[in-house]
Structure 1
Amino acid sequence: MTKAHHNATDRQLRLLVGLVVFVASVAVVGSIYAVTTDRVQTPPLWMILALTLAAMASHRTNITIRLGANKYGQGWKDILFLVGLTLLPPPWMVLCTAVGIVIGWLGGRVGPMKTAFGVGKDTIAVAVGGLVAYATGAAYAGDDPQFHPVGQLLVLVAITVVDELLVNPVVALATHTPLAKQVRRHLDIRLGFMAARILVALLLVWLLSIDRGAQLLLVAPLLIFTVHLWYLWRVRKRDERLSWQGLATSAEALNDVDLRRVMEVAVEWAPKLFSADGAEVEVFHTDPPQLVRGAGGNVDPDGEGEWPSDAFVITTVLEGRADKRPIGEFRLRFRGPVTLNEMENYKLRTFASALNTAIRNASAYAELQRVAIVHAHEAAHDALTGLANRRQLLDQGQKVITEAHADGVIALLLLDLNHFKEVNDTLGHAAGDEVLKQVADRLKAAARESDLVSRLGGDEFAVLLTGLPAPAVATHRAERLISALQEPIEVEGMWITVEASGGIATPPGTGGIAELLRRADVAMYQAKRSGQRIATYSHARDTADIGRFAITGGLTSAVADGTLTVDFQPIVDLASGEVLAAEALARWHHPDHGTVDPLRFLETVERSGLLPAFAEAVLDQALLACVSWREAGFDLPVAVNVAPRSLLDPRFPGSVVTRLRTHDLPPDRLILELTETLTISQLEVVDRVLGRLRDEGVRLALDDFGTGYSSLSVLSRIPVHELKIDSEFVSAMETSPEAGAVIRSTVDLGRSLNLAVVAEGVDSEPQRRALWEMGCNAGQGHLFARPMTAARLLASLHRGSGGRPGTLAPALHDEGAVIRLSPHRRAVPRQRSERLPHLGG
C-alpha cells in the first residue's frame, strides 16, 4: 500500500472515530441534563455504583482468541446493558456506562483512539437501547420498573445492531479490509452467537423478575463461559481451515518460473495468511539483490516504501539447496509484538519452504535461459570479432531471400584479405587476431544497419546487402566497404596496410543462400586471379556450375552401381583409449573429377530425388562393416548421420528397421546422428519419426550440440541418448574461456540427463586430457585416427595400441592412479578437423 493511500485511510479512521465520540458526547450531555433537572427518578446509590463498576470491568469480559495478529471474540456488554436498562432509567445507565467504560479503558493501557472509540461506541449503544426502551413503554417510576418482554428483546437487538454498525467500519479501515468482506466474516457464527446472547440475556432478566431467581443467577457465568467457548472454537476452526486452504493456494501460486513474480505473489499472500500488516522478500544471490514489499493487498515491486521504525518483524532465512547458504530472507511485519503459537510457526515454516523452493526453481530456470541465450549467441556469432558467423549468414540469408523480395534487390559480398598469412607468420597469431578484429569493426561501421556483416572463418568475411534499388548499386556499396579497409591498421606499434578481394553475387533462381554463397566465392576468386578488387559473378565463367551437371549424372550411377564408399572414424574412450564406436562418412571418387568434396555432392543429393536411395546405400555399407567387426570379436556400434529431409519422411523408420533385420543386427548397434536445425526443432512429423526409431531400439545422438537454433528446446523434445560437442568448441577451448564453459555445461547436462557425451575434433593430447578432466568420457578426431575403410579399422583394432587390442591410444593413467587437475593448461595449436557429412544431407 502506498504511503498516500495509507495516510488517506488513517484520516478516514480518525474522522469516523471523531464522529462516534461526538454522538456519544451528545448522549452524555443529554443524560446529564435529564438527571440534573430531575426529569428521571434517582435510583439507589448502591445500584448506581454497582452498575458503574460492572461497566468498568465489562471490557475485560472478552475471552479472545488470536490468529496471527487478529483477535476474535464477542463481549457480553449487551447483557450488562440490558440488565442495567431494566433496573435503571436510561439517562442514569448512560452516565454509569460512560464513567465505567472510561475508567476501564484507561486502566487497560491502550491508545487514545481505541479508548475514545470504545467509550463512544458503548455509550451510543446504551443510549439507543434506552430510546428503544422508552419507545416500547418501559416505566421507571417507583421501586419496580415496568418492562415488557418484547421491549427487552428489542432493546437487546438494538444494542447489538448498533455495536455491529459501529465496529465493522472502524475495523475495516484499521485493517485495510473491504467493508463488505469485514461484514461477511464469520457472519453465520456471529449471528448464532448473537442469538445465544439474546437467550442468555432474556433468561437473566426473567430470573431477576421471579422469586428466588437471584439464587439461580449463580449458573449464569458458567452458561456465559460455555457459549463463549463454543463461539471461539467455531471461529478458530474456520479460520484454521481457511488459513490452510489459503496456504495451499498460495503455494500453487508461487509455482512460477519468473523470480520477480514469485516474490510479488509471496508478499501479496503472506499478510493475509498470517494476519500481518506487511511482508517483504529479499533475494541476495541476484545482481543486484532484489527486494519486494507488500501490505494490504498492494505490492511495492521496487521495495522503495519504508516500514515504521518501531514495527515488529519476524524474519525467516531462505537457504540454498546444496550449501545451505542464505539466498534471501522472508519477513513479516506487525504493528506490535506478536508471539506465534506452534501451529502458526509450522504454517510459517511451510510457507517459507514453498517460497524457498519457488525462488530456487525460478533462479534455476533463469540460469538455464541465460545459458541458452549465451549458447544461441555463441552459435550465431564469431567468437573473435563478435560478427555473425557462417551459420547465422546461412539462416538469415535464406530468410531474406525467401521473404524480402519486395524490399529491394539482395546481393552478397564475399571478402578475402590478401596476404593475411604473412601477418600471422611474421607478427604471430595474436597480431593476426587484432587485424581481424579491426577489419570487422571497420566493415561494421561502413555497412548499413540493415546489412548483415559476418565472418565465415579465417580471413574471409561476407556482407549481405539488402534493400538495393538496383543490382548495379551492389558494386558501389562493395567499393565503399573495401575502401574502409584502406587506412593502415596499427598493430603492436606497426602500421599494416590491409588489402582485400571481393566477389558480388545476386540470388539465383534456385539453390537459395548456399548457391548464392558459392557464386560469391566464385566471383571473389575471379577477382583474385584477375588482380581486381571486386568482381561480379558471371555464369559464363562459372566452370564449377557447368561441371555440376556431370557430377549429378555420375552420382546417380554411383548410387545405383554401388561405387559410393563409406569410411569410418572411430570414437574412443578418452581415458583408456578403447574404441567405443565408429562414425560412417560417405566418400565418392568420381571417374573423371577425382575425389569430390562431400559437402558438394551431398548438396546435389538433397536437391535431387536421390536422397532415399543414397541413404539406404550408406546405411547398408555401415551395417555390413558393423557385422564384420562383430564377427571378428569387436562388437562396435556404428553411427550414421541423418539428413534433416530424411526426418520428414514417415517411411524412413521402416527402412532403417528393415535393414537392421536384414543384417541381423540388434537395433542398439545403430546410432543415428541428428543435426540441430530449424526442421528438427519445429516440425511435429520429426517427433513421430524419431519416436518410432527410439521405440524400435535405435539409439539417437544430437550432433554439433550447442551450435543449433535452441539446444535446450531441441533436447527437451527429441529423445536422444547421446550429445556430440561440436569441434569448434574443442579447437577453441584452450584459448577461449567461453568455449570451455560450453563444454563443461554440456558435460554436466549430459551427466544430469544420463546421456553419453562425445567430443568431436580431438586433435592433440592436451585437448584429450583437458576434455577428460572436464568429465567428458569419449571423443573422436585425428589424434586417434583419420577416417579409414572398414578393413583398415578392423586391422587397427587387432593391432591395438601398445599391444592392447581394441585400443587406438595409450591410457591416460594407470588403474587406481590419482590425477591432479592442473589449474593452468598449455595452449594447443588450432587444427582444422574434418566436418562429417550427413547421410543424405
Structure 2
Amino acid sequence: MLAIAGLVVASIASSRVVLNVRIRSNNWGQSWTDIVVLIGLTFAPPPWVVLCTAVGGIISRLIGRISPLKMTFAVAKDIVWASAGAAVLYAAGADFRGGAPQFNVTVLALAFLALTLVDELLAHPVIALATHTPLRQQFSRYVDIRIGFGAARLVVALFIVWLLSINRDAQLLLVAPLLILSLHLWYSGRIRKRDERISWQRLASSAEALNDVDLGRVMEVAVEWAPDLFSADGAEVELFSDPPRLVRGAGGKIDTEAEWPTDAFVITTVLEGRAAKHPIGEFRLRFRGPVTLNEMENYKLRTFASALNTAIHNATAYTELERVAIVHAHDAAHDALTGLANRRQLLDQGKKLISEGHSDGVVALLLLDLNHFKEVNDTLGHAAGDEVLKEVADRLLAVAREGDLVSRLGGDEFAVLLTALPAPAVATHRAERLIAALQEPIEVEGMWITVEASGGIATPTGTGGIAELLRRADVAMYQAKRSGQRIATYSHARDTADLGRFAIAGGLSSAVADGTLTVDFQPIVDLASGEVLAAETLARWHHPDHGTVDPLRFLETVERSGLLPAFAEAVLDQALLTCVSWREAGFDLPVAVNVAPRSLLDPRFPGSVMTRLRTHDLPPDRLILELTETLTISQLEVVDRVLGRLRDEGVRLALDDFGTGYSSLSVLSRIPVHELKIDSEFVSAMETSPEAGAVIRSTVDLGRSLNLAVVAEGVDSEPQRRALWELGCTAGQGHLFARPMPAARLLALLHRGSGGRPGALAPALHDEGAVIRLSPHRRAVPRQRSERLPHLGG
C-alpha cells in the first residue's frame, strides 16, 4: 500500500508540473508522469499502475481547476499511454507478481519509447487544433529539446528503478518527484529561453513587415501577424478615418466580413494620433476566453502597437504626399481654367512624338488665336471671357480625333498637336474642321456671340524639335492674321525671325571667345540669418549690334546648335574663376551652374568638369550643378553614369524647378541629387493659394526625409521669406535679397553686409542663438571669423 500511495503522490506531483506550462503562450508542456509510470510498472501490477495514474491525474487537475473536458482528455491520455507501456512489458515477459523490480535496460527503454510515442501522437494534434498551428509545425517545434530531455527522463527512470532494485524500500519512490522537479526546472528554462528568443525574433520580423507605404497592406500585415504573435483567435485594425477602415482576420488570413462572437474576450490598444487627444484608431486581439497578459506579454503588445502606429503614420504621410504629387502633376500639365493640356505637356508630348517618330503618319501643329477676344473681356467682363474660353476648349476636344493633343497655351491662344496624318497637306483639312467648330454662336449671359480664330500650321523639321515647331506655327498664325486668312501654313521665305536667329547663332561663336558672353550671379541666402550660402550663375550676352540679348532667346539657339560644349565650358570657367576670387577675398561660396540636358548625354562632360576644378584648384563641393526636372525617364538611363561619376567625385547636384514636371517623384528616385529647388511659381502663389503652400510643405518634408537641402526660388518679399522659413525651408533666392548682378558688385555687397554683418544681405529673422539652423552650405563670412554652419544633405 505504501508503494501504491507513493505512485499516486508521484503522479500528482508530475502532473502538476505539466499544468504549470502555459499553452496560450505557445510554450510546449512536456509530461513527466511517464517516469513515474515506468517505475511503477517495474514492481506493481499494471492495473494498479494505470489506476494510480488516473487517480493522480484527476486529483492534480482538480487542484488545477481545469475544465471537465480538458480533464477528461488528459486523464484518458494518461491511461492510454500507461497501458501502452504495460503492453510492452507484458510482451517482454515481465513478471508483476511482486518482489524486486525488473531491471532490464532494453525492455524499460522500449516501454519508455512506447509511452513517449503515444503521448506525442495524442497530445500534438490536439494542441495544433487548439492553437491553429499546422500539424507538421507542431510536431517539429522544439524537437531537438524534446529528444534531449526524453533521453534525460529515461536516465532518471532507469536510475530510480536501479535504486529500487538494490534497495526494496518503496519509500524511495517519493524521491521521483524531487528529481522530476529538478529536471523540469532545467527543461522549462531552456524552453522559455528559446520561446522568448523566437517570440522577439517574430516581433522584429513583424515590425519590419509593417514597413510598407501602402496603408491597406500595413493593416493587413498587422492582422496576419498578430494572432500568431499573441496566440489570439483573431485580430483587427480599425482606423477612424473618413470613411472608416476596418481589416479583420484570423489564422493568418484576412476576413473582413467575419463577425466576432458577442461574448468574445477582446484586448484593445488605442492607436495614438499626432495629437495624443485624438486617436487615429484601435488595434484589437480576440480570445475565446478571458486572458490576463503578463508583464512581458504586455510589453510585446505595446511594442507591436507602437510599430503599427508608426507604420500607419508613415503610410498615411506617403499616401498624402503621393496624392499631392498626383494632383500637382496633373495641375502642372493642365490648364486650370479649361482642363486642357498646357504648354509644358504640349512640349513634352511633341518632343516625344518628334524624337521617336509616329508610325501611323505625319505630325503637325496647329496654333489658334481668337480674334478680337479682348473685346469680350472689356465688354462683358473676364467671367464671361472665361466662359467663352471653356466653350472653345470643349468644342476643340469634341472635333479633335483620338490621339490629337488639344492644349491651351495661355490667354486666348490654343494649340492642337495633330497626329496620324497620311500627308502634311491633310493638316489643313483637319485645321479647317477645328476652326469651323468655333464659328457656331456661343451664348454668354443671355447674349449670342460669334468666335473667330486664326490658325497657323507647321510640320517638324530636321532640327529644332518641338520648340522650333511651335515657333514656326506661331509665325504662320501671324501670317494668317496679317493676310486676313483663317489658316496659313508656315513659309520659310516669309520667316524674318528665322533670319535673325541665324544671325544670333553666328555671333555666339565669337562671343564665347571675345568675352562678350558674361555671367551674373544671384545669391542663395539663409532665410533665417540672411547670410549668403552660395550663388547661382546666370549667362548674359551683350551683342555689339543688338545690345543685351534675351537669355531665353540665345540659350535656345545654343541648345539647338553645336556651340553647347564650348558655351558650357566658357560659363563654367567664368563661374569657377569668380569662386576663386571670392575665396581669396575671404568668402568661401559655392557656385551653382545650370546644366543643359544635352550635356548630360556627353560621356566626356564629367571629365571636362573635373579638369576645370583641378585647374582652378577648387574642391569639388564648391560646384553645384543644377539639373532641369524635364529630363525624361528614357534620358535618365543615359545620364545615370554621368551623374554618378560627378557625385562620386564630390560635385553637388541640385534638381531645379522641382514640382513643375510631371515626373517629380520618379525623377527624384533616380537622380542622386543633394538639393531640391522649389520653382518660383509656387513661392509667388503661396500667399493666395493653399495648394501652392501644400506643395511647398510637402517638398520640404520630402527633402527632410531624404536628407536633401531645399532652396526656394523667387523670394521677393519679407512675408514670403518668413512663411517659407516657418514651413521649414532653410534657404532661398530672389529679388528680396538681390537681383542677378556681376561678380564684383556681389562681392562689394558681401563686404558691406547687412547690419554690420559681412556676408549677410538681410536682417536675421531671430536672435542669433534662438534656433539651430540646418543649412545646405557654409556661411559666406570672412575667413578670419572661421564660422561654419551644419552641412545638410551629404
TM-score, normalised with respect to structure 1:
0.76
Aligned twin of 1:537: 490
Aligned twin of 1:181: 137
1:219-368, aligned counterparts within 5 Å? 219-284=175-240, 287-296=242-251, 298-300=252-254, 303-320=256-273, 326-368=279-321
The yes-or-no answer on 1:123 pairing with 2:79 is: yes
Q: Tell me: CA distance 1:565–1:191, structure 2 relative to 1, closer, same or farther (3 Å).
A: closer
Q: Tell me: CA distance 1:794–1:91, structure 2 relative to 1, closer, same or farther (3 Å).
A: closer
The yes-or-no answer on 1:758 pairing with 2:712 is: yes
Aligned twin of 2:692: 739
Q: How far apart, in 1, do the equivalents of 2:112 and 2:179 lie?
A: 18
Q: Secondary structure at the match of 1:314?
A: strand
Question: Structure 1 counterpart of 2:714, which letter?
Answer: E
Displacement of 1:62 after TM fit?
A: 2.9
Aligned twin of 2:172: 216
1:53-64, aligned counterparts within 5 Å? 59-60=15-16, 62-64=18-20
Aligned twin of 1:3: none
Aligned twin of 1:479: 432
Aligned twin of 1:584: 538
Q: How far apart, in 2, do the equivalents of 1:189 and 1:633 lie?
A: 73
Q: Secondary structure at the match of 2:396?
A: helix
1:383 pairs with 336, 343, 347, which one? Answer: 336
- Residues 27, 192 of structure 2: 8 Å contact kept: no
- Residues 280, 291 of structure 1: 8 Å contact kept: yes
Q: How far apart, in 1, do the equivalents of 2:280 and 2:738 lie?
A: 49
Q: Secondary structure at the match of 2:125?
A: helix
Displacement of 1:183 after TM fit?
A: 1.9
Q: How far apart, in 1, do the equivalents of 2:161 and 2:726 lie?
A: 92
Displacement of 1:361 after TM fit?
A: 3.5
Displacement of 1:140 after TM fit?
A: 6.0
Question: Structure 1 counterpart of 2:230, which letter?
Answer: F
Q: How far apart, in 2, do the equivalents of 1:204 and 1:667 lie?
A: 82
Q: Secondary structure at the match of 1:524?
A: helix
Q: Tell me: CA distance 1:776–1:169, structure 2 relative to 1, closer, same or farther (3 Å).
A: closer
Aligned twin of 1:450: 403
TM-score, normalised with respect to structure 2:
0.80
Q: How far apart, in 1, do the equivalents of 2:524 and 2:155 lie?
A: 91
Question: Structure 1 counterpart of 2:169, which letter?
Answer: G
- Residues 576, 616 of structure 2: 8 Å contact kept: yes
- Residues 418, 500 of structure 1: 8 Å contact kept: yes
Q: Secondary structure at the match of 1:405?
A: coil
2:345 pairs with 392, 400, 405, which one? Answer: 392
1:781-820, aligned counterparts within 5 Å? none
Displacement of 1:107 after TM fit?
A: 7.8
Aligned twin of 2:22: 66
Q: How far apart, in 2, do the equivalents of 1:782 and 1:146 lie?
A: 105
- Residues 15, 60 of structure 2: 8 Å contact kept: yes
Q: How far apart, in 1, do the equivalents of 2:47 and 2:683 lie?
A: 97
Displacement of 1:475 after TM fit?
A: 2.7
Structure 1 spans left out of the alignment, 5+ residues:
1-43, 819-841
Structure 2 spans left out of the alignment, 5+ residues:
771-794
Encode CA deviations 1:208-239: one digit per residue, 9 max, x unaligned. Answer: 66665124334233223222223222222222
- Residues 137, 147 of structure 1: 8 Å contact kept: no
Q: How far apart, in 2, do the equivalents of 1:540 and 1:485 lie?
A: 30
Q: How far apart, in 2, do the equivalents of 1:186 and 1:573 lie?
A: 62
Question: Structure 1 counterpart of 2:266, which letter?
Answer: V
Question: Structure 1 counterpart of 2:253, which letter?
Answer: V
Aligned twin of 2:469: 516
- Residues 69, 334 of structure 1: 8 Å contact kept: no
Identify the range of structure 1 (741-750 vs 392-401) with the bigger mean alpha-carbon deviation.
741-750
- Residues 413, 505 of structure 1: 8 Å contact kept: yes
Displacement of 1:152 after TM fit?
A: 5.4
Q: How far apart, in 2, do the equivalents of 1:503 and 1:439 lie?
A: 17
Q: How far apart, in 2, do the equivalents of 1:253 and 1:104 lie?
A: 43
Q: How far apart, in 1, do the equivalents of 2:570 and 2:297 lie?
A: 72
Q: Tell me: CA distance 1:534–1:727, structure 2 relative to 1, closer, same or farther (3 Å).
A: farther
Displacement of 1:154 after TM fit?
A: 4.1
2:660 pairs with 703, 707, 723, which one? Answer: 707
Aligned twin of 1:827: none
Q: How far apart, in 2, do the equivalents of 1:189 and 1:668 lie?
A: 60
Q: How far apart, in 1, do the equivalents of 2:766 and 2:80 lie?
A: 95
Displacement of 1:416 after TM fit?
A: 1.6
Question: Structure 2 counterpart of 1:62, which letter?
Answer: V
Aligned twin of 1:9: none
Q: Tell me: CA distance 1:626–1:113, structure 2 relative to 1, closer, same or farther (3 Å).
A: closer
- Residues 266, 281 of structure 1: 8 Å contact kept: yes
Q: Secondary structure at the match of 1:291?
A: strand
Q: Secondary structure at the match of 2:284?
A: strand
Q: How far apart, in 2, do the equivalents of 1:77 and 1:804 lie?
A: 87
Question: Structure 1 counterpart of 2:567, which letter?
Answer: F
Displacement of 1:147 after TM fit?
A: 6.2
Q: Secondary structure at the match of 2:187?
A: helix
Q: Secondary structure at the match of 2:18?
A: coil
Encode CA deviations 1:266-310: one digit per residue, 9 max, x unaligned. Answer: 3333333333333333444x55444334433x220x633233333
Displacement of 1:390 after TM fit?
A: 1.6
- Residues 722, 758 of structure 1: 8 Å contact kept: no
Structure number with bigger Rg: 1
Displacement of 1:528 after TM fit?
A: 1.7
Displacement of 1:681 after TM fit?
A: 4.8
- Residues 511, 517 of structure 2: 8 Å contact kept: yes
- Residues 572, 779 of structure 1: 8 Å contact kept: yes
Displacement of 1:560 after TM fit?
A: 3.8
- Percent identity, please: 77
Displacement of 1:617 after TM fit?
A: 4.2
- Residues 292, 303 of structure 1: 8 Å contact kept: yes
Displacement of 1:757 after TM fit?
A: 2.2
Encode CA deviations 1:668-721: one digit per residue, 9 max, x unaligned. Answer: 8876543223168551243146427754xxx76543222135445555666766
Encode CA deviations 1:121-148: one digit per residue, 9 max, x unaligned. Answer: 333334434443443334567x769968
Q: How far apart, in 1, do the equivalents of 2:311 and 2:687 lie?
A: 38
Q: Tell me: CA distance 1:714–1:344, structure 2 relative to 1, closer, same or farther (3 Å).
A: same
Q: Tell me: CA distance 1:133–1:666, structure 2 relative to 1, closer, same or farther (3 Å).
A: closer
- Residues 582, 636 of structure 1: 8 Å contact kept: no
Q: How far apart, in 2, do the equivalents of 1:122 and 1:423 lie?
A: 99
Question: Structure 2 counterpart of 1:468, which letter?
Answer: L
Q: Secondary structure at the match of 1:172?
A: helix
Q: How far apart, in 2, do the equivalents of 1:68 and 1:113 lie?
A: 17
Aligned twin of 1:40: none
Identify the range of structure 1 (705-714 vs 204-213) with the bigger mean alpha-carbon deviation.
204-213
Q: How far apart, in 2, do the equivalents of 1:215 and 1:803 lie?
A: 100
Aligned twin of 1:41: none
Q: Secondary structure at the match of 2:22?
A: strand
Displacement of 1:415 after TM fit?
A: 1.5
Q: How far apart, in 2, do the equivalents of 1:52 and 1:58 lie?
A: 10
Displacement of 1:553 after TM fit?
A: 2.6
Q: Tell me: CA distance 1:700–1:323, structure 2 relative to 1, closer, same or farther (3 Å).
A: farther
Aligned twin of 1:416: 369
